[in-house]
Amino acid sequence: MHPDYGNVIHRAILSSQEQRNRPMDSIRCSTLCRLIDNTGALTCERRAVFEVALPMLREPFSEDLLTVFAKGHEEEEAVKLRLRQMGYNVDVSQRRYDTGESVLPVTGSSDFELEGDLCECKSVGANAWAGVLAAVHSDGGTKCADGYLASYWRQLQLYMNLGDYDRGILLFSNRDRVAMAQEEHEANRYWFDAAMESAGRIRWLCAPVIALLRDGAEPDSMEVQDALPPHDRECCSDSCAFRAACKPGRVYVQDGDILFGDLEAQIASYVAERDIAKAAKSTWEEVKDRLKDRLAALPPDVTRYTFEVAQPSVTVGCTYVQPNGRGAYWKIDEPKEAQIDE
């Protein structure tokens, strides 16, 4: 009896993308281009540390997405074959890059050379094809596009500058039908210098976290949390694969209970000053913001929570509410004197 070939291939695709369980040993170009913008600056320092030092906390890729990755590699090989059949010179002999630092060098592999120019080939599904064409034919091209399309321009720039190419090509292939589009770009040295500065910043930010992991600290422990850059609410995005792990509240939940001992002094200060100092209001607002981060990490079926503070003896009641027509949120009551059982 023949094996179930479809199931065999499916398992092979999944096993090829095993979850990484230790820090990266380099900053991959594909990773760096997701972390910087079109000026070469880091967009989120906290995410940069998670990507490089804490990849084990990434949300796992879906099976559908892993299949898309596999089809993309197959499409690249098909494109190279078509180009060769049409008589174009396709050369894959020079494709590895390494900036050479002893710790976390920037590394990567470009796709191929086409007639002497660097070429990056990107596989695109039919549903996204119209957006690719619109970006390619717009002012500024993919460099000024939203989302993942702009990261392709950044990746091409990294490879061009690392490989000392003056010109490069972004080649888009529709994997669902025979259709292609392309962009030509000149190497931007100023952008590359800024990107390398950002890579240096990532090395510096990751060093203390990697040191803790090597000493045996758990990736989601409090000591690792304290070594991370601060959480940036402004740039936090649902599309980030580390969003659930990155939010500060995650490490404060243990066995269904929230650890908040570091906030006791702040709550006590507010209780002592709220009646005599208007400045206490800002303290309470900060406390509530920090509590909301931690409450958000509770299981979804928890809708009520009470904090008890020893000195002074007060309680803080929290309720998960969802008014009509408004988004759900945690309502945090003012601290009240704790009820003492007789």
Domain boundary among 160, 177, 210: 210
Residue 288: name the closest of 326, 260, 255, 247 by CA. 260
Mean pLDDT of the region 222-238: 83
Q: Per-residue confidence at 1, pLDDT binned at 50, 70, 90?
A: low
Residues 180 and 255 in one domain: no
List pLDDT tens digits, range 285-298.
Answer: 888 888 888 888 78
Quote the number of domains for the chain.
2
Same domain flag for 163 and 24: yes
What pLDDT digit, counting tens, does each position of 122-162 carry?
A: 988 888 889 889 988 888 888 888 778 889 999 999 999 99
* Lowest-confidence segment of 34-43, 62-71, 212-221, 279-288 by average pLDDT: 62-71
Verify that 280 and 134 share a domain, yes or no: no
Sign of the Cα torsion 19, 25, 29, 32 reads positive
pTM listed for this prediction: 0.71
Better-scored residue on pLDDT, 300 or 115: 115
Cβ atoms within 10 Å, residue 179: 14
Mean pLDDT of the chain: 83
Q: Could you list the residue range(s) of the whole structural domain that residue 205 is in?
A: 13-210
How do beta strands 257-258 and 253-254 pair?
A: antiparallel
Two tokens at 60? 């796992």
Both 24 and 173 in one domain: the answer is yes
pLDDT exceeds cutoff 90 at 336 = no
Give CA–CA dist 211/228, Å, rounded: 12
Of the pLDDT bands very low, low, confident and very high (cuts 50, 70, 90), residue 306 is confident
Split at pLDDT 50, 70, 90, the class of 338 is low
- What does the DSSP assignment read for 177-203? SS-EEEEEEE--HHHHHHHHHHHHHHH
pLDDT by residue (tens digit) across 161-217? 999 999 999 999 888 888 889 999 999 999 999 999 999 999 999 999 999 999 998
What percent of the chain is predicted at pLDDT more than 90? Answer: 30
For position 337, what pLDDT does the model report?
A: 72
35 vs 77, which has greater pLDDT?
35
- Tell me: do 199 and 263 sit in the same domain: no
CA-to-CA distance for 331 and 326, rounded, in angstroms? 13
With respect to residue 158, please indicate whether it lies within any of the assigned structural domains.
Answer: yes
